[in-house]
Amino acid sequence: MRLFRLFRNTRGAASVEFAFALPVLAVFMVGVLEFGQVLMANGALRNALGDGIRYAKVHPSATTSEVLTQTKAGLAGVSLSGIKSLNFVRGTQNGADYGQISISYQMKPMIPFAPLPPIVLNQTKTAYLPT
């Protein structure tokens, strides 16, 4: 009889349900924050590549190092130490000059309780350059 009364007692049920839901909610919130960090870094990379290729178009005689310096200056909100490779190449295709700039960026996940591999973002932008 006492056992039956214990099973009918609902005091503390909300606390137990919250204890089950809290880890799921925490993982979800950290995942949303991580996704936002990746989107922000990806947008910063695209913006910086646009700045670099635009500089190459406006200044056709610019050296590779000048274009890459301009690209790094356009990286807002991300750490320059995460850049693994940054390349600018000029070439000719079908009689037209082009410039291609590419970047590889690596960032550490911010999830503290899981050993995750680094997140690598790669972006490339190509544009025709004036002759």
Residues with Cβ within 8 Å of residue 54, at least 6 apart in sequence = none
d(Cα 35, Cα 119) in Å, to the nearest integer? 11
Separation CA 53–CA 49 (nearest Å): 6
Tokens (6 digits) for 124: 């490339």
Q: Which of 90, 103, 87, 102 is nearest to 56 (CA)?
A: 90
Is the distance from CB of 68 to CB of 52 less than 8 angstroms?
A: yes
Q: Would you state the pLDDT for residue 71?
A: 95
Segment 14-28, tens digit of pLDDT? 888 888 899 999 889
Express each pLDDT in 38-87 by its tens digit. 999 999 999 999 999 999 999 989 999 999 999 999 998 899 999 999 99
Tens of pLDDT, residues 83-129: 999 999 999 998 999 999 999 999 998 877 778 899 999 999 999 99
- The domain locations on the chain are 2-128
Kindly give, in sequence order, each residue whose CB lies less than 8 Å from that of residue 55, ignoring residues fewer than 6 positions away.
62, 66, 67, 70, 71
